[in-house]
Structure 1
Amino acid sequence: MNHELDRELDHELDHEAVLARYDRQIRRDAQTDSPGARVERAGAVVRQIGAEHDWNGVHWADVDASTADAVIAEQVRYYTSAGREFEWKLHSHDRPADLADRLRAAGFVPEPPETVMVAEVAGLPTEPQLPEGVRLFPVTDAAGVRLMADAHDVAFGADGSGLGERLAKRVLTQLTETPDTIVAVVAMAGDVPVSSARMELCPGTDFAGLWGGGTAPRWRGKGIYRALVAHRARIAADRGYRYLQVDASDDSRPILRRLGFVQLSVTTPYVYQP
């Protein structure tokens, strides 16, 4: 791991230093999050392209007011020619300041923003406290991935979008081909999956990313989300990661803040459909 920024305090993050590290390690030096996808560095842009069930999109763009429109148009041509819907992952500190307006003008549609939150692993609880009757089940194979998809549908409803199935396919591919890049877990109430979560690992960086954690309505407010964070924090600590990073929804942000996470930026997915 890279620990050159020694001025960070044990219990207080140096916001600018951590943000610079996040931009460099997670965005500019992005690694593929799926064995079937590849990260490309094309001029001013760092982007990922893969199959339809993979994440396709722009991690980073070094643009200004004079170059942004042309770079946006090139990404539209590139992904459209490949038949891929894609996302421009815009952060609130990205430049130029009107980049969001330029993306909308080019046909991108914004999805709800999320707060990028970060915490030092060393300061987080690592012992899951679960409500009675709930246990954590590690996901390591196709049967476990099926439970993850079921938990997603229980938490968010089976809306016909196929998101749970696409996610399950991606997770199974990672578990099979690059198991060092993912940790997945399901919270089970008896034989019923009521929540699921995963941790995306970026070998060679200081960051592990937390994803998921949506919980079945009748089990919300009972500490399952916090337990899933603690479970993954313990694994991240064991594997030497310094920070946990989350793109937090409005529901999870207050929980994460109480656990010690702080806001780093705000990210908005701008989606383009061919």
Structure 2
Amino acid sequence: MKPVTALAKYLEAYDDQLRTDAETPSAIRVDLLGPLRLVTFAGGRGFITYRDLGDLDGRRIAALVGRVLDHFRADPEITRVEWKSRGHDRAPGLHEALLAHGFLPDEPESIMIGALESLCTDVPMPAGVSLRRISSDADVRAMGAMAQEAFGDPAETRLAEALISRLARNDGMELWVAETDGRMVGAGRLEPVPNTDFAGIWGGATLAAYRGRGIYRALTAARARSALAAGKTLVHSDSTEYSRPILERSGLFKVSTTTPYNWSR
């Protein structure tokens, strides 16, 4: 498949298969507002996504942003909200409307898509490193603490508790870690997407002192093999500039960008 053709086909599959309920399998509630899906997750997190914004103009988009914020403000459990934008969408005035309502943009990430098989080829295991899938509460909490250290985030337990809750629901999510000398040094999450060709790889984190050794790529390959065994054929991921080159070398394509806009109560 030629690169241009592959990009178009992968982006079409992304929009058609993933920008639906399939995007948020762990939601505890979903409300519809025009073209938007307003999602509530465990742990006090709100999330906005959509297939597209149709022919809405800037005035109507700004009004939607205000109604979205009213919706989440009305739930006292919600402490933070993410609006997930995509670079290939037609969305006049969205950036300005989000800023006006107190949303702040994070760094854009690359939407990466490709064949799962490409992630499993020629991936050596780094010396002294072992990989395993985890499920115990203690391991999940340790993984969460390690990931926060890797990303430089403040220590808190909400993410770990949300992951523990999801594992109890057995919704298909898998958690994988890399260890060396008895210490967790890397981690990642696998999200097989029901009723699609896709599995998502998320949350890739490696402690700074252990980067550049192939740990991230080995964790990615382990998750890809697990997804292939479950019958999936395509992989998607929102990647930072750290992980994007690794995935490109493994045969994935950058089909667009996504920028999260975040609001905190």
Alignment match, 2:117 = 122
Q: Is 1:142–1:172's contact at 8 Å kept on the other side of the alignment?
A: yes
Task: Choose from 84, 89, 94 the match for 1:89.
Answer: 84
SS for the counterpart of 2:190 is strand
2:101 and 2:153 map into 1 onto residues whose CA distance is 31
Alignment match, 1:150 = 145
Alignment match, 1:57 = 47
Alignment match, 1:235 = 226
TM-score by length of 2: 0.89
Alignment match, 1:20 = 12
Distance 1:211 1:232, change over 3 A: same
For residue 228 of structure 1, report the CA deviation from its aligned partner: 0.7
Which residue type is aligned with residue 12 of structure 2? A
2:194 and 2:18 map into 1 onto residues whose CA distance is 11
Matches within 5 A, 1:93-172: 93-125=88-120, 128-157=123-152, 159-160=154-155, 162=156, 165-172=157-164
1:127 and 1:260 map into 2 onto residues whose CA distance is 12
1:228-271 Cα deviation digits (max 9, x unpaired):
11001111111111211111001111111111111111111111
Task: Choose from 222, 247, 264 the match for 2:213.
Answer: 222
Alignment match, 1:193 = 184
Alignment match, 2:68 = 75
Task: Choose from 178, 185, 191 the match for 2:170.
Answer: 178
TM-score by length of 1: 0.87
Distance 1:212 1:31, change over 3 A: closer
Alignment match, 2:30 = 39
Q: Does 1:209 align with 2:200?
A: yes
SS for the counterpart of 1:56 is strand
Distance 1:11 1:129, change over 3 A: farther
Q: Is 1:141–1:175's contact at 8 Å kept on the other side of the alignment?
A: no
Distance 1:154 1:134, change over 3 A: farther
For residue 90 of structure 1, report the CA deviation from its aligned partner: 0.6
1:78 and 1:120 map into 2 onto residues whose CA distance is 38
Moved more, 26-35 or 106-115: 26-35
For residue 21 of structure 1, report the CA deviation from its aligned partner: 2.2
Q: Does 1:258 align with 2:249?
A: yes
2:9 and 2:152 map into 1 onto residues whose CA distance is 40
Which residue type is aligned with residue 59 of structure 1? T
For residue 11 of structure 1, report the CA deviation from its aligned partner: 8.1
Which residue type is aligned with residue 175 of structure 1? L
Alignment match, 1:249 = 240
1:77 and 1:185 map into 2 onto residues whose CA distance is 37
RMSD of aligned Cα (Å) = 2.2
For residue 154 of structure 1, report the CA deviation from its aligned partner: 3.8
Instruction: Name stretches of at least 5 consecutive residues in structure 1 with no aligned partner.
Output: 1-8
2:85 and 2:261 map into 1 onto residues whose CA distance is 7
1:128 and 1:198 map into 2 onto residues whose CA distance is 18
For residue 38 of structure 1, report the CA deviation from its aligned partner: 2.1
Instruction: Name stretches of at least 5 consecutive residues in structure 2 with no aligned partner.
Output: none
Alignment match, 2:264 = 273
For residue 46 of structure 1, report the CA deviation from its aligned partner: 1.5
For residue 103 of structure 1, report the CA deviation from its aligned partner: 1.4
For residue 179 of structure 1, report the CA deviation from its aligned partner: 4.0
Which residue type is aligned with residue 42 of structure 2? A
